[in-house]
Amino acid sequence: MKITVSTLCRAKTEGRKFSVVSCYDFTNAKLAVSAGIDVLLVGDSAAQFMLGFDSTLPATMDFMVAITTAVNRAAFEKLIIADLPYESCAAGGEKMVTDSRRFIEEAGADVVKIETSSEQFDDLKAVIDAGIPVMPHLGIRPQTGEYKAQGTTAQIAAELIGFAERVYNAGAQMLLLEGIAREVGKLITQKLLFPVISCGSGPDCDGQVLVLPDILNLKDGAMPKFSKSFADIGKASVEAIAEYDRQIKQNVFPDDQHSYHMKPGEMEKLLELIG
Protein backbone atom coordinates (compact mmCIF):
# COMPACT_ATOMS: atom_id res chain seq x y z
CA MET A 1 0.00 0.00 0.00
CA LYS A 2 1.29 3.44 -0.94
CA ILE A 3 2.54 5.58 1.93
CA THR A 4 1.13 9.10 1.76
CA VAL A 5 1.19 12.25 3.87
CA SER A 6 -2.13 11.04 5.31
CA THR A 7 -0.38 7.82 6.39
CA LEU A 8 2.16 9.87 8.32
CA CYS A 9 -0.55 12.08 9.82
CA ARG A 10 -2.27 8.97 11.18
CA ALA A 11 1.05 7.76 12.59
CA LYS A 12 1.48 11.11 14.35
CA THR A 13 -2.05 10.96 15.79
CA GLU A 14 -1.41 7.43 17.05
CA GLY A 15 2.00 8.30 18.50
CA ARG A 16 3.95 6.09 16.07
CA LYS A 17 7.31 7.25 14.75
CA PHE A 18 8.28 6.89 11.09
CA SER A 19 11.67 6.52 9.40
CA VAL A 20 13.18 8.60 6.60
CA VAL A 21 16.38 7.95 4.64
CA SER A 22 18.06 10.34 2.26
CA CYS A 23 19.36 8.38 -0.74
CA TYR A 24 20.12 9.11 -4.36
CA ASP A 25 19.89 6.09 -6.65
CA PHE A 26 17.87 3.00 -7.60
CA THR A 27 20.13 0.42 -5.94
CA ASN A 28 20.27 2.07 -2.52
CA ALA A 29 16.59 2.94 -2.65
CA LYS A 30 15.84 -0.78 -3.12
CA LEU A 31 17.90 -1.51 -0.02
CA ALA A 32 15.95 1.09 1.97
CA VAL A 33 12.64 -0.37 0.80
CA SER A 34 13.73 -3.89 1.76
CA ALA A 35 14.72 -2.59 5.20
CA GLY A 36 11.22 -1.20 5.79
CA ILE A 37 11.99 2.54 5.58
CA ASP A 38 8.80 4.60 5.26
CA VAL A 39 9.95 7.74 3.43
CA LEU A 40 12.75 8.36 0.93
CA LEU A 41 14.16 11.87 0.65
CA VAL A 42 16.16 12.55 -2.49
CA GLY A 43 18.41 15.25 -1.09
CA ASP A 44 20.60 17.75 -2.88
CA SER A 45 23.40 16.40 -0.69
CA ALA A 46 23.80 14.05 -3.66
CA ALA A 47 26.07 16.79 -5.02
CA GLN A 48 28.49 15.93 -2.22
CA PHE A 49 28.04 12.17 -1.85
CA MET A 50 27.63 11.27 -5.53
CA LEU A 51 29.51 13.99 -7.39
CA GLY A 52 32.24 14.93 -4.91
CA PHE A 53 31.49 18.62 -4.50
CA ASP A 54 32.10 20.33 -1.16
CA SER A 55 28.56 21.73 -0.90
CA THR A 56 25.04 21.10 -2.15
CA LEU A 57 25.03 24.16 -4.40
CA PRO A 58 26.19 22.51 -7.67
CA ALA A 59 23.15 20.19 -7.76
CA THR A 60 21.19 21.13 -10.87
CA MET A 61 17.49 20.69 -11.43
CA ASP A 62 18.03 18.21 -14.28
CA PHE A 63 20.31 16.15 -12.05
CA MET A 64 17.79 16.18 -9.19
CA VAL A 65 14.95 15.15 -11.51
CA ALA A 66 17.04 12.27 -12.88
CA ILE A 67 17.96 10.83 -9.48
CA THR A 68 14.46 11.36 -8.07
CA THR A 69 13.06 9.41 -11.00
CA ALA A 70 15.53 6.61 -10.27
CA VAL A 71 14.56 6.45 -6.60
CA ASN A 72 10.89 6.47 -7.53
CA ARG A 73 11.40 3.46 -9.80
CA ALA A 74 12.72 1.53 -6.82
CA ALA A 75 10.34 2.83 -4.16
CA PHE A 76 7.12 4.04 -5.77
CA GLU A 77 5.07 2.59 -2.89
CA LYS A 78 6.93 4.78 -0.39
CA LEU A 79 6.50 8.51 0.14
CA ILE A 80 9.07 10.21 -2.12
CA ILE A 81 10.29 13.69 -1.20
CA ALA A 82 12.45 15.63 -3.66
CA ASP A 83 14.79 18.44 -2.65
CA LEU A 84 14.49 21.67 -4.64
CA PRO A 85 18.10 22.66 -5.46
CA TYR A 86 19.76 26.00 -4.83
CA GLU A 87 19.57 27.11 -8.46
CA SER A 88 15.78 26.90 -8.30
CA CYS A 89 15.35 28.48 -4.88
CA ALA A 90 17.66 31.37 -5.75
CA ALA A 91 15.63 32.19 -8.87
CA GLY A 92 12.47 33.02 -6.93
CA GLY A 93 8.79 32.09 -6.97
CA GLU A 94 8.03 31.53 -10.66
CA LYS A 95 11.05 29.28 -11.21
CA MET A 96 10.37 27.47 -7.92
CA VAL A 97 6.82 26.69 -9.04
CA THR A 98 7.94 25.45 -12.46
CA ASP A 99 10.70 23.24 -11.06
CA SER A 100 8.61 21.91 -8.18
CA ARG A 101 5.98 20.86 -10.72
CA ARG A 102 8.68 19.01 -12.66
CA PHE A 103 9.41 16.91 -9.59
CA ILE A 104 5.76 15.88 -9.34
CA GLU A 105 5.00 15.42 -13.03
CA GLU A 106 8.32 14.12 -14.41
CA ALA A 107 10.00 12.40 -11.48
CA GLY A 108 7.01 11.01 -9.59
CA ALA A 109 7.77 12.76 -6.31
CA ASP A 110 4.97 13.14 -3.78
CA VAL A 111 6.31 16.16 -1.89
CA VAL A 112 8.88 18.88 -2.62
CA LYS A 113 11.31 19.96 0.13
CA ILE A 114 12.27 23.63 0.07
CA GLU A 115 14.92 25.23 2.27
CA THR A 116 13.40 28.51 3.39
CA SER A 117 13.24 31.37 5.85
CA SER A 118 10.77 34.10 6.74
CA GLU A 119 12.35 36.37 4.11
CA GLN A 120 11.46 33.83 1.42
CA PHE A 121 7.92 33.16 2.59
CA ASP A 122 6.23 34.68 -0.47
CA ASP A 123 8.18 32.40 -2.83
CA LEU A 124 7.32 29.36 -0.70
CA LYS A 125 3.67 30.41 -0.62
CA ALA A 126 3.65 30.65 -4.41
CA VAL A 127 4.57 26.96 -4.66
CA ILE A 128 1.94 25.98 -2.09
CA ASP A 129 -0.71 28.09 -3.84
CA ALA A 130 0.12 26.29 -7.10
CA GLY A 131 -1.25 23.12 -5.50
CA ILE A 132 2.13 21.45 -5.04
CA PRO A 133 2.68 19.48 -1.81
CA VAL A 134 5.51 21.22 0.03
CA MET A 135 7.75 20.39 3.00
CA PRO A 136 9.57 23.54 4.19
CA HIS A 137 13.07 22.99 5.60
CA LEU A 138 13.88 25.22 8.59
CA GLY A 139 16.91 25.62 10.87
CA ILE A 140 20.32 24.76 9.47
CA ARG A 141 20.04 25.23 5.72
CA PRO A 142 23.04 23.85 3.80
CA GLN A 143 22.20 25.95 0.73
CA THR A 144 23.10 29.07 2.76
CA GLY A 145 26.38 27.60 4.00
CA GLU A 146 25.33 28.14 7.63
CA TYR A 147 25.86 25.05 9.82
CA LYS A 148 25.40 26.52 13.30
CA ALA A 149 22.72 24.93 15.50
CA GLN A 150 19.51 26.94 15.57
CA GLY A 151 16.99 27.78 18.32
CA THR A 152 19.46 27.68 21.19
CA THR A 153 18.31 31.08 22.47
CA ALA A 154 14.76 32.06 23.43
CA GLN A 155 14.56 34.81 20.80
CA ILE A 156 15.63 32.65 17.86
CA ALA A 157 13.51 29.76 19.16
CA ALA A 158 10.41 31.98 19.25
CA GLU A 159 11.11 33.12 15.68
CA LEU A 160 11.45 29.53 14.48
CA ILE A 161 8.23 28.48 16.20
CA GLY A 162 6.41 31.48 14.75
CA PHE A 163 7.64 30.75 11.23
CA ALA A 164 6.77 27.06 11.56
CA GLU A 165 3.22 28.05 12.48
CA ARG A 166 3.13 30.44 9.54
CA VAL A 167 4.05 27.79 6.95
CA TYR A 168 1.61 25.35 8.55
CA ASN A 169 -1.21 27.88 8.23
CA ALA A 170 -0.15 28.60 4.65
CA GLY A 171 -0.87 25.01 3.68
CA ALA A 172 2.44 23.18 3.85
CA GLN A 173 2.06 19.40 4.04
CA MET A 174 5.00 18.54 6.29
CA LEU A 175 8.01 20.15 7.95
CA LEU A 176 11.70 19.31 8.24
CA LEU A 177 13.76 20.75 11.09
CA GLU A 178 17.54 20.54 10.75
CA GLY A 179 19.95 21.27 13.59
CA ILE A 180 17.34 22.82 15.87
CA ALA A 181 17.51 22.55 19.66
CA ARG A 182 15.62 19.51 20.91
CA GLU A 183 13.34 21.59 23.11
CA VAL A 184 12.25 23.72 20.16
CA GLY A 185 11.73 20.69 17.93
CA LYS A 186 9.47 19.19 20.57
CA LEU A 187 7.40 22.36 20.92
CA ILE A 188 6.92 22.68 17.16
CA THR A 189 5.96 19.02 16.85
CA GLN A 190 3.41 19.33 19.64
CA LYS A 191 1.92 22.57 18.31
CA LEU A 192 1.42 21.58 14.68
CA LEU A 193 -0.87 18.85 13.38
CA PHE A 194 1.15 17.83 10.34
CA PRO A 195 4.19 15.47 10.31
CA VAL A 196 7.45 17.00 11.55
CA ILE A 197 10.75 15.35 10.58
CA SER A 198 13.92 15.81 12.60
CA CYS A 199 17.35 16.01 11.05
CA GLY A 200 19.39 16.58 14.17
CA SER A 201 16.49 18.26 15.97
CA GLY A 202 15.92 15.75 18.74
CA PRO A 203 13.91 12.56 19.23
CA ASP A 204 10.57 14.22 19.93
CA CYS A 205 9.66 14.91 16.31
CA ASP A 206 7.37 12.53 14.43
CA GLY A 207 10.04 11.14 12.10
CA GLN A 208 13.82 11.03 11.80
CA VAL A 209 16.05 11.34 8.74
CA LEU A 210 19.72 10.57 8.12
CA VAL A 211 21.67 10.28 4.90
CA LEU A 212 22.37 6.70 3.86
CA PRO A 213 26.17 7.26 3.58
CA ASP A 214 26.21 8.11 7.31
CA ILE A 215 23.98 5.19 8.29
CA LEU A 216 26.31 2.77 6.48
CA ASN A 217 29.58 4.64 7.22
CA LEU A 218 30.38 4.99 3.54
CA LYS A 219 32.17 8.33 3.66
CA ASP A 220 35.44 9.71 4.97
CA GLY A 221 35.73 12.37 7.62
CA ALA A 222 33.70 13.42 10.62
CA MET A 223 29.94 13.32 10.54
CA PRO A 224 27.54 15.78 12.21
CA LYS A 225 26.93 15.50 15.96
CA PHE A 226 23.39 14.27 15.35
CA SER A 227 24.33 11.51 12.92
CA LYS A 228 25.22 7.88 13.61
CA SER A 229 26.59 4.88 11.72
CA PHE A 230 24.68 1.66 12.29
CA ALA A 231 27.19 -0.60 10.50
CA ASP A 232 30.64 -0.24 8.97
CA ILE A 233 29.66 -1.10 5.43
CA GLY A 234 32.38 1.21 4.17
CA LYS A 235 35.10 -0.97 5.70
CA ALA A 236 33.41 -4.15 4.53
CA SER A 237 33.14 -2.73 1.01
CA VAL A 238 36.84 -1.85 0.89
CA GLU A 239 37.73 -5.35 2.08
CA ALA A 240 35.52 -6.95 -0.56
CA ILE A 241 36.95 -4.81 -3.38
CA ALA A 242 40.49 -5.49 -2.17
CA GLU A 243 39.80 -9.24 -2.24
CA TYR A 244 38.49 -8.89 -5.80
CA ASP A 245 41.69 -7.04 -6.72
CA ARG A 246 43.83 -9.77 -5.10
CA GLN A 247 42.06 -12.60 -6.91
CA ILE A 248 42.39 -10.87 -10.26
CA LYS A 249 46.12 -10.32 -9.82
CA GLN A 250 46.71 -13.87 -8.56
CA ASN A 251 44.65 -15.30 -11.45
CA VAL A 252 42.19 -16.90 -9.04
CA PHE A 253 39.14 -15.15 -10.47
CA PRO A 254 37.47 -15.71 -12.84
CA ASP A 255 37.74 -19.48 -12.84
CA ASP A 256 36.07 -22.16 -14.96
CA GLN A 257 32.91 -22.00 -12.87
CA HIS A 258 32.50 -18.32 -13.69
CA SER A 259 33.02 -18.77 -17.44
CA TYR A 260 30.70 -19.61 -20.33
CA HIS A 261 31.50 -22.68 -22.46
CA MET A 262 30.81 -23.89 -25.97
CA LYS A 263 28.29 -26.65 -26.46
CA PRO A 264 29.71 -30.23 -26.64
CA GLY A 265 31.35 -30.97 -29.97
CA GLU A 266 31.36 -27.33 -31.10
CA MET A 267 35.02 -26.76 -30.26
CA GLU A 268 36.07 -29.51 -32.67
CA LYS A 269 33.92 -27.98 -35.43
CA LEU A 270 35.42 -24.57 -34.73
CA LEU A 271 38.98 -25.88 -35.07
CA GLU A 272 38.09 -27.41 -38.42
CA LEU A 273 36.52 -24.13 -39.59
CA ILE A 274 39.52 -22.04 -38.71
CA GLY A 275 42.02 -24.60 -40.01
Nearest partner of 68 among 24, 110, 22, judged by Cα: 24
Catalytic positions, please?
178
Phi, psi torsion values for 210, nearest 5 degrees:
-135, 155
- Taking the CB of residue 263, how many other CB atoms lie within 10 A of it? 7
Using alpha carbons, select from 143, 160, 42 the residue that is nearest to residue 102: 42
Q: For residue 95, what are the contacts with CB-CB under 8 A and spacing of at least 6?
A: 88
Per the CB < 8 A criterion, the answer to whether 124 and 169 are in contact is no
Sort 229 into a burial class: Cβ within 10 Å, 0-12 / 13-18 / 19+: middle
- 3-state SS assignment for residue 189: helix
